[in-house]
Structure 1
Amino acid sequence: MRSTILIAVVSMLGCTMLVAGTSLIAKALGSGALGTVIHPLMVSQARFVFGFLAVAVVLSLRLASGRKAWVQSPQTPKPNWTRHALRTLLGWTGGGLMFAAAAQLPLADVNALSFTSPVATMLFAMLLLGERVGPWRWGAAVIAMLGALVLLRPGAGVIQPAALLAVGAAVAMGIEAIVIKRLATSEPPGRTMLINNAMGAVLSSVVALTVFVWPQGATVWAGLIGMGVVMVTAQILLLGANRLVDASFVAPFFYLTLVWAAVYDIVFFDVWPDAVSLTGASIVIAGGLVMTWREVLNARRAAVPASVTVQALR
């Protein structure tokens, strides 16, 4: 039992480190730190194209070893293409906005704003699915949004457009979470990852044609390839941790993403979090933890596992 918990903890530490790492790579590519400035649409393209290749390799190895549970499901032999398409569109939108914001803002601020996505999930689940929202979840949502307001820095005289991009990303990922919940209850994770990355590769490549310039330099190519591989590796670590322990144990670890993001800012860009960033992030985390606690309680009462956080699946 102890070894199982230890493996889950290590998996989540690696997962959150890699999730924050995608923001780091996006910032490095978008700011020109790796040689040339790469447009956010091309960063999104790399995330899906190389992510698809990585997923295809992993699933091929699993199928070759006889492990088919990740890909095949007797209950749902055919994919729900409408849900997959909607999830991909939302994921591509959220990821693209996030990558654009990361190129202009401190990584800690971008990741903190992304953690307001559960608020969007709650609101749209209430409006679209008719879910009841109790006072605890409303209170948590208000707390998280107050933290986001602090991070938007309205007292500075003008709200940074890049911060609004991060908020838009959080909204897209929040709606995506609703679709992911539906897919997670009916389709195997490997098939979902493969279809999502395949659809995303096609969509992002078509849109990226409008700004595409052939990347120059080995470091730029390493960043583009790394974007897809790192994201897929984070997804696999998350799925592995969720198989070993309860989702209620896993969920709080996601807030370590903010710690990793702050460390990356300091080490790679010499950007230290100021009082506003620390205050806003702390408020967002407080609201997020309250909301996570209520989700876990509701899931236990309904005897359904708590949903996987969309943050690591963007």
Structure 2
Amino acid sequence: MPTRFSLSPRVQGLLLMLGAAALIAATSLMAKALGRGLGGPELHPAQVSAGRFCFAFATLVPILIWVRPSFRAVPWPVHIGRSFFGWIGVSFLFAAAAQMPLADANAISFLSPIVTMALSIPFLGEKVGPKRWSAAALSLFGALVLTRPGTEAFQPAAVLALLSAFFMGIEVIFIKKLSDGEPPLRILAINNGIGASISLTVAAFFWIAPSPSQWLLLAALGMTMVTAQFCFILSMQRADASFVIPLLYATPVFAALYDFAVFDQQLTALSAVGVAIIITGALILVRRERAAKLRAQARKD
């Protein structure tokens, strides 16, 4: 009898993380299409962000009804902080994506680990060594190569992407506080529920009636994002974080391919160098942070 083909958990983790990267890049493509008025009027980033959170939460509702997770002893202040800064970060990323090449916007958003690293010193009591600071400096150099401030090639939208990275970096501080004891489904449900409430309130001030095709795209944006989040969680459950996380940095690569296919946006050679430098620095940061965490656990044991 032939044995049924199956993938090892590590390979499953890699494929799931690669899928998460592809889906995250797809959400920025959808945001760009909505922000540029593809198939209807140009939608404000706050309205696009509202679609992302509301339809993501709507996708989760049937799962929540079926699973019925407990919502007792929820650390609400941490959840609210995470959701608030996550919403701001996503909104700025969507605003940047509508105005600049997707690969550039996504790559700049990956500067967020630098913000997290810097804030982890006062808020989490972590120690940051020279190697991690060197990796941060490398990523910042890549951002300078990519944005080229002070030259005619500078894109004002890059400031929006930098703000996105800043707020997403703050969000990760809250996620670290939640990661030890909070069930993943509860984190997703609360994050998207609070995000939907905040984003709808803000979007009301900028509301423009979307076309039917834009409603479908907003729904697809929300469902794609929550699917990406599930892929990320499943990947982390199947393999060690230091093994699978590097594939998440394929997001700008997927974004560049999507941007070229839909908007005929070509990545320049200098931009490609900047993207590569940012990703290299961020990957070094992730690996150094993982090594530091393992050393801290070993000292406790």
Question: In structure 2, how many angstroms separate the alpha carbons of the residues matched to 1:127 and 1:34?
Answer: 47
Match status 1:201 vs 2:196: yes
2:11 to 3, 6, 9: 6
1:87 to 70, 82, 86: 82
Give the partner amino acid of 2:192: N
CA shift for structure 1 position 128: 3.0
Question: In structure 1, how many angstroms separate the alpha carbons of the residues matched to 2:118 and 2:12?
Answer: 35
Question: In structure 1, how many angstroms separate the alpha carbons of the residues matched to 2:152 and 2:18?
Answer: 38
Structure 2 runs not aligned, ≥5 long? 1-5
Deviations 1:147-205 (A, max 9, x none): 11112122523742210000000000001001001011121111111111111111111
TM-score (norm 1): 0.89
1:19 to 24, 28, 38: 24
Contact preservation (8 Å) 1:113, 1:148? yes
Mapping 1:244-263, distance limit 5 Å:
244-263=238-257
Match status 1:268 vs 2:262: yes
CA shift for structure 1 position 62: 3.5
Question: In structure 2, how many angstroms separate the alpha carbons of the residues matched to 1:90 and 1:230?
Answer: 20
Aligned to 1:309: none
Give the partner amino acid of 2:148: R
2:178 to 173, 176, 183: 183
1:293 to 280, 287, 293: 287
Match status 1:238 vs 2:232: yes
CA shift for structure 1 position 214: 2.0
Aligned to 2:34: 29
Give the partner amino acid of 2:221: M
Give the partner amino acid of 1:58: I
Aligned to 2:3: none
CA shift for structure 1 position 98: 0.4
How many residue pairs align between the two structures? 293
Match of 1:154, SS state, is coil
Deviations 1:71-120 (A, max 9, x none): 348xxx31111111111110110000000000000000001001100000
Distance change in 2, residues 1:17/1:117 (3 Å): same
Question: In structure 1, how many angstroms separate the alpha carbons of the residues matched to 2:135 and 2:168?
Answer: 18
Aligned to 2:121: 126
Match status 1:55 vs 2:50: no
Give the partner amino acid of 1:260: F
2:44 to 34, 39, 42: 39
Question: In structure 2, how many angstroms separate the alpha carbons of the residues matched to 1:109 and 1:224?
Answer: 23
Give the partner amino acid of 2:205: T
The two structures, once aligned, show a CA RMSD in angstroms of 1.6
Give the partner amino acid of 2:24: V
Mapping 1:66-145, distance limit 5 Å:
71-72=69-70, 77-145=72-140
Identity %: 44
Aligned to 2:209: 214
Give the partner amino acid of 2:220: G
Contact preservation (8 Å) 1:72, 1:188? no
Aligned to 2:155: 160
Contact preservation (8 Å) 1:140, 1:288? yes
Match of 1:110, SS state, is helix
Question: In structure 2, how many angstroms separate the alpha carbons of the residues matched to 1:39 and 1:275?
Answer: 31
1:173 to 154, 168, 172: 168
Contact preservation (8 Å) 2:139, 2:282? yes
Distance change in 2, residues 1:245/1:158 (3 Å): closer
Distance change in 2, residues 1:276/1:158 (3 Å): closer
TM-score (norm 2): 0.93
Match status 1:151 vs 2:146: yes
